[in-house]
Amino acid sequence: MNSGSHSPLSGPHVVVFAMFPGIDALDVTGPAEVFAMTNLVLGANHSGVGRGYEVHLAGERRGPVATSAGVRLHVEELFCEQGTIDTLVVPGRIRIGADGPEPQVDPAVVAWLREVGPAAGRVASVCVGAQVTAAAGLLDGHRATTHWATAERFAADHPAVEVDPDPIFVRSGRMWTSAGITSSMDLALALVAEDHGDEVALEVARIMVMYLQRPGGQSQFSVPLAHPAGSREDLRALRRWIGEHLDADLSVPALAARMSMSERHFARVFRAETGSTPGSYVERMRLEAARRLLERTARLAPDIARACGFGSVESLHRVFRDRLDTSPGEYRSRFRTTA
């Protein structure tokens, strides 16, 4: 249990959402559903709901708060009425402007975070809620993530924050941040795992038909999603085959032969369809697979290198160094999950 939280026997874990107009509805309802389901799981396990979560929606004023989806959420408590907060959740609000997605920072929430944030057991920002938390000075000196489309602006606006645009969520001490909207539920599951263990979190994920807790280090975009689908079904099939045969010979000559094309023509068509060279695409696919194995298994580096088609541990280390500026060992120590 987080050191700033109630102990399991002293009452519920108090979760407070900082509400303001225009927030993304799923930033609130997604984590709230995870916490509610956790209470049901704990009750079914005869652990007592007192070990579970008590969710509060707090705002500058009482009444309905319009979300970006048009759904209204009712705020019954004021910021000034909050007592001990075990987990303070800061949702985000994003607007699509002429220059792309823009995070919206609510001054009233920023002022309240400055006041209560330092005393909260932990602070969890969802999506561009990280920019709100950063505006209150709570993320200075911390590593954080946010929605990929606003990460560059986030880093420019808050140079004291180490912004990492890639992970699904990031924990830095008692500060937690997550990526785009749906990752709010991955973040909530990670919080549940910290409070009640991996078995409870995984049971919640199963009941909610969620992916069994995407690891925090997982990229916001998988390699296939980061590249255009393209118009050629034969190349789409090839890309699927590559993902299923990473330990095979995936050199340009081998892939071109599989497509019954000359090497030069294959390389040209592949780049036109995906925006990437075949070599770069394969390397990124292998890197993504290696990251998953480092995050989710205890397999050793030589085994991972073979399984992902790197051929040698030296090649595995080189790609991690060139692409991620870290080593496989450092990456595992940072993102390893026990779930």
Range from 23-32, 37-46, 223-232, 267-276 carrying the lowest mean pLDDT: 223-232
Q: What is the pLDDT of residue 230?
A: 58
Q: Amino acid identity of 202? A: L
Question: Stretch 222-245: mean pLDDT, rounded?
Answer: 73
State whether 237 and 281 are in the same domain: yes
Which of 25-29, 94-98, 101-105, 201-205 has maximum average pLDDT? Answer: 25-29
Residue 147 resides in a domain: yes
Give the 3-state DSSP-derived string for 81-134, with helices as H, strands as E and coil as C.
HCCCCCEEEECCCEEEECCEEEECCCHHHHHHHHHHHHHCCEEEECCCHHHHHH
Measured from the Cβ of residue 271, the count of other Cβ atoms closer than 10 Å reads 14
pLDDT digit string (tens) for 87-135? 999 999 988 777 777 889 999 999 999 999 999 999 999 999 999 999 9
Residue 110 resides in a domain: yes
Final residue belonging to a domain, choices 183, 207, 231: 207
State whether 256 and 167 are in the same domain: no
Residue 56 resides in a domain: yes
pLDDT above 80: residue 1: no
Give me the number of domains the chain comprises.
2
pLDDT digit string (tens) for 273-291? 888 899 999 998 899 889 8
H or E element: which one contains 177? strand 175-178
Which pLDDT band, with edges at 50, 70 and 90, does 212 fall under?
A: very low
Exposed/middle/buried for 228, CB within 10 Å: 0-12, 13-18, 19+? exposed
Higher pLDDT, 216 or 63: 63
Question: Stretch 56-62: mean pLDDT, rounded?
Answer: 96
- Confidence (pTM): 0.65
Q: What is the pLDDT of residue 336?
A: 66
State whether 232 and 292 are in the same domain: yes
Q: Compute the half-sphere exposure of residue 156: CA atoms within 13 Å on the CB side of its CA.
A: 4
- Which residue range forms the structural domain that includes residue 57? 13-207
* Percentage of the chain lying above the pLDDT 70 cut: 87
Q: What is the pLDDT of residue 130?
A: 96
Residue 7 resides in a domain: no
Rounding to the nearest 10 degrees, give the CA dihedral for residues 132, 134, 137, 142.
150
Q: What is the mean pLDDT of the chain?
A: 85
State whether 173 and 249 are in the same domain: no
pLDDT above 60: residue 338: no
Rounding to the nearest 10 degrees, give the CA dihedral for residues 204, 207, 208, 212.
60
CATH number, residue 327: 1.10.10.60
Which pLDDT band, with edges at 50, 70 and 90, does 198 fall under?
A: confident
pLDDT digit string (tens) for 128-164? 999 999 999 999 999 999 988 898 899 999 999 999 8
State whether 184 and 63 are in the same domain: yes
